[in-house]
Structures are given as C-alpha cells and as structure tokens.
Amino acid sequence: MIPEQPNHVVSTIENLPAESISVSPTVLQRMKKVFNRELLLSVALGQVLSLLICGISLTSKYLTVDFQANTPLFQGFLNYILLFLVYTTTLAVRQGEENLLAILKRRWWKYLILGITDIEANYMAVKAYQYTTLASIQLLGCFVIPVVIILSWFCLLVRYKAVHFIGVVICILGVFCMTGADVLMERQQGMETNKKVIGDVLMLARVALYGIGNVCEEYIVRNLSRVEFLGMIGLFGSFFSGIQLAIMEHKELLRVPWDWQIGLLYVGSCACMFGLYSFAPVVIKKTSATAVILSLLTADLYVIFCGLLLFHYKFSGLYLLSFFTILVGLVLYFSTSTYVAQDPRVYKQFRNPSGPIADLPASGQLEPSVTYTSLGQETEEEPHVRVA
C-alpha cells in the first residue's frame, strides 16, 4: 500500500488576498506625499511676507533716493498709529479679561519692553545700511536664525529633527550665493573701517532684538491672541516711536518736499508695513518663528528682481540659484513637523489653554514627563506621545 503524500499548496500572487499584497509607492505618490497642500501653503504664506518686505524696501528706496526723504522713524510711526487705530481700539471695546485695561493691569510692563524692542530693531536695521556694506548686512542677518532656534528650544521647548537643520543650512547657503552675486555685480559700496564696525555692531544688536521679538510673538499668538499682541504693539509702539521721532528725525521730516507722489509712496509703505505686521502672526501661528525667519530670506532677492526693471541692476544667474536654493531649504524644513516638549507643570496646556489642567500632587517627588506635540504641518491626525 502506497502511503498518501501530503498535498502542498503553493500560493501565488494571484490567489493571495488583495489586502496582503504590499505595493511600493511610485515616485509620483512619494512626490504627492512630500509636496502636500500643507507644505505648499506654508511656503506660500512665507513668500507673501517676503513680498510685503519687498514693497517696504522699494518704497523706502524711492523716498530716499528720488525725493531725499530719509524718514524711517516716521514710516514706522505711521504703521504703529494704524495698528493702534485698528487693534488697540478693538481691545478697548472688548469686555472681561480681554479688555485693554485688564490686559494692561496684568502685563503692561512686558508689552512695554516688547514695543521698545520692536522699535529699536527696525531702527538699527535702517542705521546699519548707512554704515556697513550690503554683504555684511546679508551675512550678519543670518545670525538671527540660530538666535531664534536657541530661544525657541529653551523658551518655547521646540524640538527639531535632523531634516530641519539640513534645511536651515541649505537656506544659509542660498544667502551666501546671493551675497557672492552682489560682490561680483559690484553692488557693494566702499566703507571706512571704523564706520563698517559700527554698522556690523548695529546689525548684530538688531539681530538679537529681532530674534527675541519673534519668539515672544510666537508665544503670545499661541497662548493669548493675535489681536492682543498687535494692539499692545500699536499702543506702546506709537507712543515711544513718536517720542523718538520728535527727538531724532523732526528736522528731516521738515525738509521733505511734500507732493502727491511722496504722499502716495508713504501710503504704499505704510500699507505694506501694516499688512506685514497683521499677517505675520497668522503665519507664525500656522508654522513657527523659525520658519518665518527662513521664509524672509528671499525678500532681498525679490528686491533685486524688481530692481532689474526699476533701478537697472545687473543680472547674475547666481541670484536665481540663490532663490531656488532657499526654496529647497524651505521645502526640506517644512517637510517634517517640529515638536514641543511640554512639561505640564510649567506650560499647562500650551497648545490648548482652555483645556483641562491636571491637578498636581501636593507632596512627594514629581516624576519628570514630557509630551511631544506637533507644531508644524500635519497631514493627518497624529497621536500625542507621552514619555514618562
């Protein structure tokens, strides 16, 4: 008797269940996953801010060169007055804890310092152009990036991944490329050594103040409100910039040859500046202060591209290379979310201040705990991971 042989069933791909077949994603699918709607929106929002800065630079250049109206403090003062009329008055008519007087009672001195910081950062940037070269301003301006990253790490508890630092390095390489193009195109003016040192020191001081202001802005718009931030900046900014204007710039303002063209340029400058201040908190809340700083690196390139038509600048292919290098760095930075290491004993619902706050034990040693929450673009709902 011949023993029965066991039947061996060979499964082929045709008779396997469809859900058990893993198909590797195509190149197009991978591209769609990287270049998703959130990433493109984040990049586009940052470029809107750069275009607004470009508008401010162009109107200021026309005022300074064509009409000899060198009045940066007056331009800033007009912006602060507009912020006051729109946002401070909004706070004044609110009721309860969001009322202007209630906010001033609790934290007036903080907004006073923030307002002065914002005024002096803008003023130092303008003065630095008078003392140092464009190359120094562009290169020293890059130092605001590590300033914001360090402050965000320690003050906002933001945590970055390796891809974020790679994106930052690529963006800085793009700035170096732009600066090299400026040198080759002979756009650098000669400066005396002593004056150049003064300009470099002013630029470094401006970088520090600008970084502090941006990180404070991110904290306020995430935890309090955009209207409160802009209302307080309008209140203290208009007051102290008005005093500084009366002391330092009243003679230049009296020498301005007023006509409809100058008036139109001031209106355009004020509109761009007001749009920048009003829209920047929206972009910061959507992305982060670091992301906004990186996005603004293209502002000088937009000025150069416009200058090719308006001021007959010389063209260099390095400008295009710089522009696309910065965009590549931005895409890499936005491709992955950053995270907040949130200690509930300190930040207490950083992302959701209206949510419930866990009671802390009255005695005993507290165990360290960290919650990581995505602050960047999120293509799908990501669970909060708690590491205890």
Cα(99)–Cα(289) distance, rounded to whole angstroms? Answer: 27
For residues 345, 351, 353 and 354, what is the CA-based torsion angle, rounded to 10 degrees?
Answer: -130
Residue 242 clears pLDDT 90, i.e. is over it:
yes
Q: Report domain extents, the chain.
A: 27-336, 339-388
Contacts of 237 (CB under 8 A, 6+ apart): 76, 79, 80, 83, 84, 115, 118, 119
Using an 8 Å Cβ cutoff, are 168 and 295 in contact?
no
Please tell me the distance from the alpha carbon of residue 123 to that of residue 129, in angstroms, as a whole number.
Answer: 10
Is pTM, for the whole model, over 0.85?
Answer: no
Q: Which residue has the higher pLDDT, 236 or 136?
A: 236
Q: With H, G, I as helix, E, B as strand and everything else as coil, classify residue 18.
A: helix
Per-residue pLDDT tens digits for 189-235: 555 566 778 888 888 999 999 999 999 999 999 999 999 999 999 99
Token couple for 106: 């609790």
Question: Average pLDDT for residues 144-149, to the nearest whole number?
Answer: 94
Predicted pLDDT of residue 371: 39
What band does 342 get if pLDDT is binned at 50, 70 and 90? low
pLDDT, average across residues 325-340: 91
265's CB contacts (< 8 A; 6+ apart) are 59, 62, 63, 67, 69
Residue 88: both structure tokens together = 């401070």
Sheet holding 370-374, edge to edge: 158-159, 339-342, 370-374, 385-387
When pLDDT is averaged across residues 128-140 and rounded to a whole number, the result is 79
Q: What is the mean pLDDT of the segment spanning 259-279?
A: 95
H or E stretch at 339: strand 339-342
